[in-house]
Structure 1
């Protein structure tokens, strides 16, 4: 009966926008003097409570609102009731085959409590009609309910940490959220002394992918729509496959691996990484030129990199095909700050790769040949320059970046298996 519960925390669906009509009115129709000046209004100053009493009243009202919304959600027991009611009127032998008609759908609606009503609207039924006889899949409908409940539950859980109730969470807010989740996650092998490093590791992935402008806050809606939250919720499973544990950023194995890398690189044990220490990352395959640019563009402290900045670096390198990682690395490649890479920039960076390969005993590589290949791969809008948009749109932007910065990355590309056209079948 309750076999569906494992899916409860893995499902998500687009949320309803939480902007109120009053907020929209305020944003769209700002003060008349701003309209007359011709400058559009792009910032609305948040109203600060006029007194401590007003602040306490606001917090109490918000807490009451959250409590009311929680009570309106379907509990596990109520989901069991819904599943049993659907099965009772469904036709078909297996879960995948079971169908239900609108007449039965409407009859179930009349027998269930009022809090089920939002799921039994005609419009909700129509979105699942695929069969010629007008029936819908019981499993698809029930999974929809699960996704809706899971989404609303996650939204309420995250909203608790939104202290200023603006719909955004800071990295510190996310760390508090993850800290409260830890007891329910499969992280039993982590010692309590490591928790602070785990929280930094976990929250940084949200920040890297969901706060590209580095504003210091992330919209709750963006968090809910992101697969990152789903990846975190997967740790609620009591048993994780080994391969999944290695690929999930939030697993105990992954967090210990990344922190272990940092400790191994930190040879002087000062809790920071110097330029020479980071040079040993990934067996020293990254070029000196690229690493120099990393230290020029990223935040450092006395010329050294802290753990948080190192996490950004690792997330970019390990997720190099994502738009966020490509954007991160593009900052390093755009050495002139012009917003594009020209032929000279491409050859400048690849020469560092070619020189490093020669020092390792490899044969000389034609720099101009690689430059031409890079432009062919990027297929830029303008023939003499490659923009960030070109790199993201071409689908192989991450490969291009590795070719220009990483000896192993270029070697992997150079020795890739190319399909033989004569052996392909029609």
Structure 2
């Protein structure tokens, strides 16, 4: 994978709301290239998520129940067929794709307050994109790491003598 391909993958993963990402993930899911996501293709990707959930000790939703949720979410023009046009028209394509590709984001969405979703739609001001939020979070992490490294290099963090807990072989370091 080239650097340019990696960048497009990262942007498509972190911001599934934009048209380019919607097209990218649609091509990933359209296994037979017919321009339609069949129920077979949806089940194929959901089975992978089910395996991951079972490893985590989470009981997955039966496919038929999930399928009803996804079809209600997308509201395809033709029953039983999801097209790229349907997903672009749907304001929740990111939820659809996370359900099949990103277990962590799928589970986050499942735990989310349903009223928070309504607030997202009612917000009139320009809301930052998922990519903007991701970049801001990563920048904050970078700044925190940099400031921590600077403190260590400057000797701002001093350590007290180390203790070994009497009933354990663990080493405890006390920060002053």
What TM-score, normalized to structure 2? 0.63
How do residues 392-407 of structure 1 correspond to structure 2 at under 5 angstroms? 392-407=88-103
Q: Which residue of 2 aligns with 1:314?
A: 10
Deviations, residues 60-117 of structure 1 (Å, cap 9, x unaligned):
xxxxxxxxxxxxxxxxxxxxxxxxxxxxxxxxxxxxxxxxxxxxxxxxxxxxxxxxxx
Q: Which residue of 1 aligns with 2:82?
A: 386
Deviations, residues 287-335 of structure 1 (Å, cap 9, x unaligned):
xxxxxxxxxxxxxxxxxx1211101101111221111111011110001
Query: 2 CA distance for matches of 1:325 and 1:373?
Result: 22
Query: For 2:69, what is the secondary structure of its paired residue?
Result: helix
Consecutive unaligned residues in structure 2, runs of 5 or more: 116-176
The offset of 1:365, in angstroms, is 2.2
Query: For 2:114, what is the secondary structure of its paired residue?
Result: coil
In 2, are the aligned partners of 1:347 and 1:368 still within 8 Å (CA)?
A: no
Consecutive unaligned residues in structure 1, runs of 5 or more: 1-304, 420-426
Query: 1 CA distance for matches of 2:58 and 2:91?
Result: 29
What TM-score, normalized to structure 1? 0.27
Q: Which residue of 2 aligns with 1:415?
A: 111
The offset of 1:344, in angstroms, is 1.5
Moved over 3 A (4+): none
Aligned pair count?
116
Query: 2 CA distance for matches of 1:365 and 1:387?
Result: 23
Larger radius of gyration: 1
In 2, are the aligned partners of 1:354 and 1:367 still within 8 Å (CA)?
A: no
Cα RMSD, aligned residues only:
1.5
Query: For 2:82, what is the secondary structure of its paired residue?
Result: strand
Deviations, residues 356-400 of structure 1 (Å, cap 9, x unaligned):
111122123211111111111010000110000100101111110
Q: Which residue of 1 aligns with 2:32?
A: 336
Query: 2 CA distance for matches of 1:315 and 1:393?
Result: 20
Q: Which residue of 1 aligns with 2:63?
A: 367
Is 1:323 the counterpart of 2:19? The answer is yes
Deviations, residues 269-297 of structure 1 (Å, cap 9, x unaligned):
xxxxxxxxxxxxxxxxxxxxxxxxxxxxx
Is 1:376 the counterpart of 2:72? The answer is yes
In 2, are the aligned partners of 1:321 and 1:399 still within 8 Å (CA)?
A: no
